[in-house]
Chains A and B, each alone.
Chain A
């Protein structure tokens, strides 16, 4: 199969057609603006649904039959149950039992637990996956075993693709920790409580058919309803939608790695010294080890400076909740909850608010929260001398992570990558990223254990920390130091067989992931 390639505005070779659809090469940040009308499902009428509101059927297979699952359809699922999710696997097991073929799986993210789908890919039930692929699925796709191209989108990009019609979901299956027979659903309670269901919101509105699967059916009304039953076709009750121990952690622990702690501390001090940490500021910190420690160092600096934050964007956890309760953070606008304390907080604290990629990340929104945040701290697998970032592949080219909200968060007023300068002998600062996921013009600061590099485009930040005792380096100096420590790496040859594409937030293709091995 020969693939037509085109050079995009970032200089990367990308396919002109992806899974049969024409695609648009990346045209630069802000260089593409889809037009037309938003996509929509067919008109439904309430007279076709039970007057008593009871939409239950007996099994997932029955539900799939009832909504008319056919060969070649697009089936979506969501990752709010993380590595504890049972539902996405049960759906494709049922589809296989029904003899369906060539389905496209459209998850908001996949986890190692979803290695279950590999036999379904092998035997033709699933044609390909458009969503993040990690662990075993990442290895499967990287080895070129998938029939279609993988398509990696950010959380905001997934919403964009649904809304502008690039992906039309035939059947959305929403795992609901608590729901009623009408289809109202919430994630903030129940044995598989995960906090919130924001990743499923777009699917509930735009999918042709919506199935809610729950293991905690409550009498109508299910309150609060994060998913509205009025969008739901069918409800299925099963014994268990997932393994609670793998959905949220009981306790979130701070990293003991001295390198990670140093990176986090330098990043927090940078925010203070650069004047970002001012009264009423806002920040976004994820749940990774380093970004979690960042929030704690920031907390200490905020306390001693008497500064409070107007809002923080989650992933939230116990430590963010403590800051909320202490008054250091006035509001948490949450996208994901990572531990039991955070789930309890979002259920009980009115200042801890449920958000979705629509409020925060969507390219077709009339603005979004991510660009209003003063500072966002993120990870990366690689960053290059132009400050371009890679978050999806290992430096040998293997698929390793999804994009998550990473691309969307780059629009924060100050975006910072908190990364070790090398992992084992593998340099994280490189001449050119293996896979381009975020353009350097949007990446402002790189914080490593060996020093902080500020993007030369941000003279304001350079000026703000001039004269501080922070270890400010150029990215070239950091790279030179790595060459001394690790040695100068060989050039890694790339295959010419695309196995996946990386979308930019506007739906254009920013880079290609090539086959490895």
Chain B
């Protein structure tokens, strides 16, 4: 392996936690590991075995590997070691970490997407408990939160997270980069059951089709769903074409930070500068039969403003919003839930609809008023949201049996 070069991966320093640093030095001697770990008294053997599995997989048998571990879990250690050795020039298929029991949970097209929590793709510490917070979706981000130099490290880390991390009941989402970097992201994660891939700054339906075709070629009918993000005036302008570009699209969202910058109108709490963009996104998504999802709310300390924001976006027709801190999630779910009065009205419509179906009637009536099919469909959704948000008990339907 004399063609390898020196390389390093992962952060180093006293304040690093749940992560590790790996350095490789080529040499002719048999591969030597030097491991300094704050958890060596508990895991020295496991750490050495994991690092060796990665090195063997990549065919690295000589040189010196130095690991400075600050309590990284095994899948993190393995990701850092793989990043280091690949950057040293090693090729081949690295050993993968142990699968989490839930890593094969299948994706579901129709599901609640009220909240999605963004997590930086190269920060393992923030991922470890993310599955506990009840977000409808977790997004491991390979784009804006990862520096260009760290893209490859993040791809490997996110792949390992798709295999080993406990995602709880959250939808498994990844935001990829734009352009060719984005295709490389897809190539690296597609086999590991991402449920939804977020495509940034989409301005052309071809971008969606390109990703969709690539995913179908790579993993066939296990291809993840897509959520295009509109972040430019052009993207908004072509919102419907983008939403309808491919069957894999399940939701359409927008990024107000970039959009505001491009429009030249700073983002305000009132949001008038983006009103048309937001409403256009809702209309385009509904027209294409996919979910409209609102932008993130980035002031984590202002809970009242978050509540107002969610109410407003829900009022525009959005089905969910983006979060950047777990504490936003309960507030988002509460505000995305229907009121009790709305829920009760929806129950009356749902029951009337079932009643009409049972009796073979074409039209649904509540009292003396006829109810149109879109209203019936919306009532079913309202009931589902009310149950998810705790407004209705899960057994609300028992008495109708």
Chain A residues in the interface with B (C-beta under 8 A): 258-259, 261-262, 395-396, 423-427, 449-450, 484-487, 489-490, 492
Interface string of B33-72 (1 = CB under 8 A from A): 0000011011111100000000000000000000000111
Distance in Å: Cβ of A384 to nearest Cβ of chain B: 15
Apart from A425-B43, A449-B129, A485-B166, list 6 A-B contacts with CB within 8 A: A262-B132, A423-B71, A424-B18, A425-B42, A426-B42, A426-B71
Tell whether, in the assembled complex, residue B71 and residue A261 are in contact, meaning their CB atoms are under 8 Å apart.
no
Say yes or no: A425 contacts B132, CB within 8 Å. Answer: no
Q: Are B327 and A490 in contact (CB under 8 A)?
A: no
On whether A489 and B42 interact (CB within 8 A), knowing A261-B327, A423-B71, the answer reads yes
B192 at the interface (CB under 8 A from A): no
A-B contact pairs, 16 of them (CB 8 A): A258-B325, A262-B132, A262-B133, A396-B42, A424-B18, A424-B70, A424-B71, A425-B39, A425-B71, A426-B71, A484-B100, A486-B43, A487-B43, A489-B42, A490-B42, A490-B44
Give chain B's interface residues, CB within 8 Å of chain A: 17-18, 38-39, 41-46, 70-74, 100-101, 128-129, 132-133, 166, 325-327
Q: Which residue of B lies closest to A430 (CB)?
A: B42
Determine the chain A residues whose CB is within 8 A of the CB of B46 once the complex forms.
487, 490
Whether A424 and B42, one on each chain, are in contact in the complex, defined by CB atoms closer than 8 angstroms, is no
Q: Please, which residues of chain A bring their CB within 8 A of the CB of B101?
A: 484
Nearest CB on A from B63, distance (A): 26
Contacts of A484 in B (CB 8 A): 100-101
User: Interface majority SS on B: helix, strand, loop or mixed?
Assistant: loop
CB neighbours (8 Å) of B100 from chain A are 484
Q: Complex Cα distance A267/B189, Å?
A: 38
Query: What residue in chain B is nearest A487 (Cβ atoms)?
Result: B46
Complex: A396 Cα to B41 Cα, angstroms: 7
Q: Which residue of A lies closest to B301 (CB)?
A: A256
Q: Let me know if A259 and B39 touch, CB within 8 A.
A: no
How far, in Å, is B358 (CB) from chain A's closest CB?
33
Partner of A490, one of B43, B74, B129: B43
Q: Would you list the 6 A-B pairs with minimal beta carbon distance, nearest first?
A: A424-B71, A489-B42, A258-B326, A425-B71, A425-B39, A396-B41
Query: Which residues does chain A contribute within 8 Å of B17, judged by CB atoms?
Result: 424
Q: Which of B44, B71, B72, B327 sits near A258, CB closer than 8 Å? A: B327
Minimal beta-carbon separation of A225 from chain B (angstroms) = 44
Q: How far is the CA of A395 from the CA of B43 in the complex (A)?
A: 12
A485 and B326 contacting across the interface, CB-CB below 8 Å: no
Task: A424 to B39: give the CA distance in the assembly, Å.
Answer: 9
Cβ–Cβ < 8 Å partners of B44 in chain A: 490
Q: Knowing A425-B43, A489-B43, A490-B45, say if A258 contacts B129 (CB, 8 Å).
A: yes
Q: In whole angstroms, what is the CA distance A487 to B128 when docked?
A: 14
B42–A395 touching, CB < 8 Å: yes
Cα–Cα distance between A259 and B133 once the two chains are bound (Å): 9
Which residue on chain A has the smallest CB distance to residue B76? A425
State whether B73 touches A259 (Cβ < 8 A).
no
For residue B73, which residues in chain A have a CB less than 8 angstroms away from its CB? 425, 485-487
Partner of A450, one of B39, B43, B132: B132
Per a CB cutoff under 8 Å, which of A262, A395, A425, A485 touches B72? A425
Query: Could you tell me the distance in whole angstroms from the C-beta of A43 to the nearest C-beta in chain B?
Result: 54
Give CA–CA (A252, B43) in the complex, Å: 37
Instruction: Looking at the assembled complex, report how far the CB atom of A233 sits from the nearest CB atom of chain B, in whole angstroms.
Output: 46
Chain A residues lying within 8 Å of B71, measured Cβ to Cβ, are 423-426
Distance of A262 Cα from B46 Cα, bound (Å): 30
In the complex, A3→B204 CA distance in Å?
79
Min C-beta distance of A265 to chain B, whole Å: 9
Interface-centre pick from A259, A427, A490 (highest chain B CB count, 10 A): A490
